Amino acid sequence: MRLSFWLFFGVIFVPFLFAQSTGFNYDEAKVPEYTLPDPLVLADGALVKTAKVWETKRRPEVLELFKREMYGRAPGKPANLKFLVFDENKVLKAKAVRKQVEVQFAGKADGPRMTLLIYLPAQVKGPVPTFLTLNFRGNHTVTDDPAIRLPHSWVRGRAKGEAVNNRATEKGRGVAKSRWNVTNILKRGYGLATIYYGDIDPDFDDDWKNGVHALYPKPKADEWGSIATWAWGLSRALDYFEIDKDIDHKRIAVMGHSRLGKTSLWAGAADQRFAMVISNNSGCGGAALSRRAFGETVKRINTSFPHWFNDNFLKYNDNEKACPVDQHMLVALVAPRPVYIASALGDQWADPMGEFLSGMHANPVYQLYGLKGLPASKQPAVDNPVMGTIGYHVRSGKHDVTDYDWEQYLNFADIHFKGKR
């Protein structure tokens, strides 16, 4: 895809991407018949009956299939990875500590790098459990704090006055703060850490020349697309958390919305250090079952965003049934760790029913560990969350992250991180 076309599409038409597109199926009666691959059947046909067999045999098989056929293989931790804490101050009337950390992927200030913004509650003693998220438009958009560094990299030119020549400006401060209730997260005793996803890999089809890809050879057909690259960046943030005494690196919840919800699911599947995984309206290629072909489809996502997945995934355009995995198996890869899936009634493009079914069909893997998994056999009523080791809600409203969503994630974290019921 030509870069000029993508910039036109991304900058001009991004506001319309999540409208209910025509020409796609939104009718349950028209969902094609399908058979889901069984997460508990080994490649040789044997049935998985214990958690040990899942962990030693079947889980590696499933993870390999997702790497080879969909998300792509990513490299490990860079040898020269370097962290520079350039800001650590008390803020919000001394109720919080703000940190900003530059993560240099090649150990050089003039090389590919990302900026990690962290808010921690000042009143909490000891390492703090923390939500880690990627954001769409720059760390400076999460709050209107004037001290937050502007992104150095390409940004989405979505809001009027927010970007000039695809560079962030002061006008963008706080424009997305409705999605990040920083005050309430801190009040509940959790930290919030966020990274601008464009620092890791710009979100356009650039033939793998920018972001961290500048350090590596061009990906092969089974190697990392942008979603796997963004997930790789989340793992590098976790590398930092392991050396920060103020953050409990064993209680990190990775959370993402939309394409970044796809990313959080893959990050949690690929890196078992994440203690909790949260998918918000992630849809096709995230929590929604691909075989349902409801709302956004594999072909549509591969056509509009050819850089998100690896090239092998292209062969499943209009051919979902041939794929050896489906998204319930992605959810199952998180087991036995808790995972939360959230849908929105007004976001049929992301297939709320398909998102719910992925959680439900991951239950057999959780049951190997004696865990309840998702405590629902049918999609719950709107605004009526259910929480086992798998949590789910479908809320009223549209494609977004709301205070209601965060309230459920905080409640879910209280159960699994703090033992509260």
CA atoms within 13 A on the CB side of 324: 14
> Pseudo-torsion of CA 351, 304, 268, 230, nearest 10°?
-150
The per-residue pLDDT string of the chain (421 residues; one tens digit each, 9 = 90 and over) reads 323 333 333 333 333 344 466 689 999 999 999 999 999 999 999 999 999 999 999 999 999 999 999 999 999 999 999 999 999 999 999 999 999 999 999 999 999 999 999 999 999 988 999 999 999 999 999 999 999 999 988 887 654 444 445 777 888 899 999 999 999 999 999 999 999 999 999 999 989 999 999 999 999 999 999 999 999 999 999 999 999 999 999 999 999 999 999 999 999 999 999 999 999 999 999 999 999 999 999 999 999 999 999 999 999 999 999 999 999 999 999 999 999 999 999 999 999 999 999 999 999 999 999 999 999 999 999 999 999 999 999 999 999 999 999 999 999 999 999 998 7
Residues carrying an active site annotation:
258, 399
Nearest to 253 by CA among 129, 393, 355: 129
Report domain extents, the chain: 3-418
Helix or strand (DSSP H, E) at 393: strand 390-395
Q: What is the DSSP letter of 314?
A: G
CA dist., res. 242 & res. 417, Å (int)? 17
- The strand pairing partners of 393, in sequence order, are 342
Q: Select 3-418's CATH number: 3.40.50.1820, 3.40.640.10, 3.30.1330.60, 3.30.70.2190.
A: 3.40.50.1820
Sole residue written with tokens 């051919």: 319
Concatenate the DSSP letters of all residues of 83-125 into one string.
EEEEEEEEETTTTEEEEEEEEETTS-TTSSEEEEEEEEETT--
Helical H segments across 271-374, by residue range: 298-304, 327-332, 352-361, 363-368
